[in-house]
Amino acid sequence: MRYAMRLSVGLVAIGIVGTVSAIQAERSNKAFSDHALRATAAPPAPSPRGQSYRGDLTFVAKDGHTVTIPATKVPTAVRDSFRAASSVEIQYLPEDPASVRFSNWDQPRSENLVLPVALLVAGLVAVGVLVKNRK
């Protein structure tokens, strides 16, 4: 019975975290689709770390100030584009220039709420059943 309760509470916790994460991702996707600005970024100084590639990303925002985002994760396709060209197009949010997407590679994807909500509901139902059976 204890194990079942712990498992049920775990499902609820995972469901809550997953739901919050999906909602935040959807808000970010909406912000980028509604009002992201475009800029050209200079290639970052290379600093490969295992399978990922990170570097300081620098671009000039629409208002004219230079924005540098340290240790930005760069997808492999973007890194290859940086090697082939001297720059790449990015999108950024004017209210938060550190929020950047690589225009041709970081396409917004709709987060799926079905799984986290299903886990949350399953956990809540299981907790309810276990509590009812205790009486």
- Give residue 6's pLDDT band: very low, low, confident or very high (50, 70, 90): confident
Domain assignment of residue 115, given as a range: 2-134
Q: Which residues pair with 20 in a beta bridge?
A: none
Q: What is the mean pLDDT of residues 42-66?
A: 75
Residues 6+ apart with CB under 8 A from 22: 111, 112, 113, 116
- The residue with tokens 């590639």 is 53
CA–CA gap between residue 46 and residue 54 (Å, rounded): 7
CA–CA gap between residue 46 and residue 71 (Å, rounded): 10
Domains contained in the chain, number? 1
Is the pLDDT at 93 greater than 90? The verdict is yes
Closest CA to 50 of 21, 30, 24, 76: 76
**In this predicted structure, what is the pLDDT of residue 39?**
92
Closest CA to 58 of 85, 97, 94, 32: 97
Closest CA to 73 of 91, 95, 49: 49
- Give residue 92's pLDDT band: very low, low, confident or very high (50, 70, 90): very high
108-131: pLDDT as tens digits: 565 577 888 888 888 888 888 888
